[in-house]
Amino acid sequence: MEFDRRWLDPALAGEELAARTARVMEDPALLEGCFGGGLEFGTAGLRGIMDTGTARMNRITVGRATQGLAAVLLEERPDPQVAIAYDSRHQSRAFAEEAAAVLAASGVRAWIYPRLMPTPALSYAVRRLGCDAGIMITASHNPPAYNGYKVYDRTGGQIVSAFAARVQAAIDATDPFTGVRRGDYAALLAEGQIREIPDQVREDYLAEVLRLQLRPGILAESGLVVAYSPLNGAGHRPVIDALTRAGLEELYLVADQSKPDGDFPTCPSPNPENPEAMKMVLDLARLIQADLAFATDPDSDRIGVAAREEDGSYRLLSGNEFGVLLLDYICRTRKAAGTLPERPLAVTSIVSTPMARQVAKKYGVELVEVLTGFKYIGDEMNRLEAAGEGERFLMGFEESCGYLTGMHVRDKDAVNAALLAAEMAAACKLEGRTLCQALDGLYAEHGTWFTKADSFAFTGPAPMEAMAAVMERLRRETVDAVAGSPVTVRTDYARDDTGLPRADVLAWELADGCRVIARPSGTEPKLKFYFAVRGAGRPACEARYRALRVEMTARAGLDG
CA 309 from chain centre, in angstroms, equals 28
What 3 state SS string does 453-480 have? EEEEECCCCCHHHHHHHHHHHHHHCCCC
Angstrom distance (rounded) from CA 554 to CA 560: 7
Distance CA 435, CA 322 (A): 10
Going by C-alpha positions, the residue among 254, 259, 258, 298 that lies closest to residue 280 is 254
DSSP 49: E
- CA 234 to CA 88: how far, in whole Å? 6
Q: Edge-to-edge, what's the strand order for the sheet holding 109-112? A: 46-49, 146-152, 133-137, 81-86, 109-112, 194-196
Which residues on neighbouring strands pair with residue 348, listed in sequence order? 369, 397
Is residue 495 helix, strand or coil?
A: coil
Give every CB contact of residue 74 below 8 A, 6+ residues apart in sequence: 80, 106, 107, 108
Q: Which residue type, as a one-letter code, is found at position 235? A: G
Residue 269 bears catalytic tag? no
SS (H, E, C) 112-154: ECCCCCCHHHHHHHHHHHCCCEEEEECCCCCCCCEEEEEEECC
In order, the DSSP letters of 230-253 are: -TTSTTHHHHHHHHHHTT--EEEE
Distance CA 560, CA 553 (A): 5
Which amino acid appears at position 482 of this protein? V
Catalytic residue among 140, 300, 349, 400: 140
Distance, in Å, from the CA atom of 133 to the CA atom of 154, rounded to the nearest integer, reads 5
Positive or negative, the CA dihedral 161, 165, 170, 174 is positive
- Count Cβ atoms below 10 Å from residue 102 Cβ, excluding itself: 26
Q: Which of 552, 524, 324, 560 is nearest to 441 (CA)?
A: 324
DSSP string, 426-447: HHHHHTT--HHHHHHHHHHHH-
The residues that bridge with 481 in the sheet, in sequence order, are 486
The DSSP output letter for 391 is G
Which residues are marked as active site? 140
